Structure 1
Amino acid sequence: MTLEQFIGRKHVVAGTLALTNQLLEKESRRLGARLNVGVDVPYLLAVPSLVATSDFIAAVPDELADLFSRLADVDVFPLPIKLPDLTVQEFWRARHHNDAGHRWFRGVVAETLRLYKT
């Protein structure tokens, strides 16, 4: 999909992807374009069915695109816009640093993010 086609289509945006949406809008404006938001939904799971049953498209992270393509009849294509990589950091209160439950959860988050690191 070309940049012109991408910009020209109506988009589904999900509130749970606010940061991705902001980065996409910012980069679009930098290129002299603006996204045409057709519908803004509060929940991410509404996206695949809306895309599958309309002319809308949606920009989602690769892992979600793969999942959505298994949940609904949607095509997946690379974004014609380069978005910056995101840095994810964990923060917690010092008093919980050695708490077993907190340590376990921080480890799960870190391992999950490590699996998606390219």
Structure 2
Amino acid sequence: MRHVNKKRYYEFSQDEMKALEECDKESFYRRCLPFSTLFATLTAAAIKLGFLRGNPHFGAVPKVMVAAFLGYVSGRVAYVQQCEARLRELPEDSPLGRLMRRYHAERNPPPKK
């Protein structure tokens, strides 16, 4: 019986790691941070103006923290398309780039004439 040396995990190339790190950094600064700040500020203002009620024991903190977390998640989700586009631009020899190009082509077929 022949022994096949299979990898148990995928090793990202330098280009792939760079693209993923840039996506992570850009999504945080361009979407997560602004969305979290906006959501938390609007929630704090709504509590202060009486549109929302603060917690009797903790005040506005729980709602503001939940709003900031929802802003963070919304920011990550809002940046997914930009990250997918960046991964599709990886070199032809990148398995991740090929996978993302195939994924995109399957979900965005060319228009029929």
TM-score (norm 2): 0.26
Higher strand share: 1
Higher helix share: 2
Q: Which protein shows a greater Rg?
A: 2
